Structure formats: structure tokens, C-alpha cells
Amino acid sequence: MTTATATKKADAVGARAVDAARTALLESVDVVDIGEHLGHVGEDERVVTHFFACVRPGYKGWRWAVTVARAPRAKAVTVDEVVLLPGDEAIVAPEWVPWRDRIKPGDLGPGDLLPTEDDDPRLVPGYTTGDEVVDQDSVREVADELGFGRTRVLSLEGRDLAAQRWYDGSHGPDAPIAQSAPGSCSTCGFLVRMAGPLSQVFGVCANAYANDDGRVVSFDHGCGAHSEARLGKKSRPQPLPEPVLDTLTWDELDQF
């Protein structure tokens, strides 16, 4: 069982007040739940905490902590608080992780909502145009953003995060399927070009037989369904021999 040790020199009167601490504990806790005195720690000047084992079933390693204090020149202590605290061997619940940090991509189901914070750095107000380059053609789009379109658009940070995530993931050049591909997406007829800054690195695969059909792929990604993929000589099906016309035997046919 753990025995507490003093962290700073404990007040002598407070350290001796084991009985006073136990009496205070008994006012709040059933006697059958209180075990042996485990020690004390000096919390502050004339402030001492006494620990008693908690023998309540299910509370292995927990300790009752009774803090006593003494006024300057006072000969007796008064009780500050009585609490139950986990010791080093106590079974405690894992640290709470907010649901936002626990949720993983792909966890959302139909009807689930995942609100975005107002200050999410991946988004900026629509009128700033975010990662979208402003030119004459996009002025109308910007006007739409201001009045009737999206309130927020992707920020430069949000764009860079997405680009890096896509590039590092299973649609980038390091994916195993890309490593053994006969050609890259940049030379594939099934690649659909996108618009905007991301189009410099990514396109969309439009091959119904490819694993990435309908997904963003980097130009240096690739797969075996590349439009120009051809089977090697060894892999091609062998031509069938000429059919043989058998004029000597015949097959028995069922009689109906």
C-alpha cells in the first residue's frame, strides 16, 4: 500500500493530528470504508494532509485525504476538507478526450452533424476569396460569395493542408498501387482536369474500373487501369487452335 511522504516540512502539530483527522473523516465516511493511516504531506505553512486507506470495494489504490490547518500560535488544528483521491495504484478513468478530437475521417454517418468552429483556420470569409486567385473572370464569383454564395471559403492554410493530406494519402505517388503502375495519372486519358490552384497538382480519376474513380488523384499517382496500360506478351491470352471437325464419331443425344 502506498505511503505518502511529505513534500515540504510538515507542521509538527498538524502532523500529529492523526486522530483529529480520523474523527473528521468518520463524520463523512462509514467506518468500514476507512483503513490504516498511510502518512501525511505538508501542503503549506501549518497546513497538513493526512491520508487513510480506502477499503471500500472497487476503490483499490484510492485514499481518503483529510487536510488540517492551524492558525499562527494556535495549539489545535481545524479541518479544511475531506476528499477521496486516487493514489499511484488507483484505477481511474482514462483522460477525457473531447469528441471533436476523437472523431476520425469516415466516422460521420447519415444524419450526423460536424459543425465547424467560427475561427477554424481552414476557412476564411468569402469576400477574401481565400485560396482562389482573383482575376477578371472570378470577380463575379467573388460578388456571389459576398451576397448569396458561401459565407466562408477555403483559406490558404486549409488548401495547403488538404493538398498535403491528399498527396501523402492513398491517392498520391507513394501509394503501393501507384508504385507499380504502368504510367502516371498525368498521362492517363481518364484524368479529368480541375480548376483553381489545386489543379496544378491534382485531377479527378474518371475510370469506372479504377479504385480511385471519382476521387482526387495527384498527377504522379497511377494505377493498373491507366488508359495506355497494355498486357505484356506473356500475359496475353494464348490464341486458340483451329476447330476440328470430327466426321468419325458422334455424340449420344437424349431421346425425348
Nearest to 48 by CA among 68, 28, 74, 33: 68
Q: Give, as one character, the DSSP assignment of residue 145.
A: H
Instruction: Give the number of residues in contact with ligand SF4, rule: CB under 6 A.
Output: 14
Question: Closer CB to ligand SF4, residue 132 or residue 212?
Answer: 212
Question: Closer CB to ligand SF4, residue 119 or residue 228?
Answer: 228
Question: Closer CB to ligand SF4, residue 125 or residue 183?
Answer: 183
Nearest to 65 by CA among 90, 39, 31, 92: 39
Binding segment for ligand SF4 (CB under 6 A), chosen from 10-18, 52-60, 210-218, 235-243, is 210-218
**CB–CB of 90/75 below 8 Å?**
no
Residues sharing a CB contact under 8 Å with residue 90, sequence separation 6 or more, in sequence order:
59, 60, 61, 62, 63
Q: Is 36 helix (H, G, I), strand (E, B) or coil?
A: strand
125 forms beta bridges with: 152
In angstroms, give the least distance from the CB of 148 to ligand SF4.
35
x/- map, 156-195, ligand SF4, by CB under 6 A: -----------------------------x--x-xx----
In angstroms, give the least distance from the CB of 159 to ligand SF4.
22
Q: Under rule CB under 6 A, which residues in 110-149 are in contact with ligand SF4?
A: none
Q: Distances in Å between the alpha carbon of 104 and those of 109, 114, 125, 214?
A: 12, 11, 26, 22
The verdict on 218 binding ligand SF4 (CB under 6 A) reads no
Q: Give, as one character, the DSSP assignment of residue 173.
A: T
Binding segment for ligand SF4 (CB under 6 A), chosen from 10-18, 40-48, 128-136, 207-215, is 207-215
What are the contacts of 71-79 at 24+ separation with CB within 8 A?
Answer: 71/46, 72/46, 75/13, 76/13, 76/20, 77/13, 77/14, 77/17, 77/20, 77/48, 79/20, 79/21, 79/24
Question: Closer CB to ligand SF4, residue 46 or residue 226?
Answer: 226
In angstroms, give the least distance from the CB of 181 to ligand SF4.
6
CA–CA distance, 255 with 232 (Å, rounded to integer): 49
In angstroms, give the least distance from the CB of 198 to ligand SF4.
16
In angstroms, give the least distance from the CB of 233 to ligand SF4.
22
Binding segment for ligand SF4 (CB under 6 A), chosen from 75-83, 108-116, 149-157, 205-213, is 205-213
In the complex, which residues of this chain contact ligand SF4 (CB under 6 A)?
A: 185, 188, 190-191, 205, 207, 210, 212, 217, 221-223, 225-226
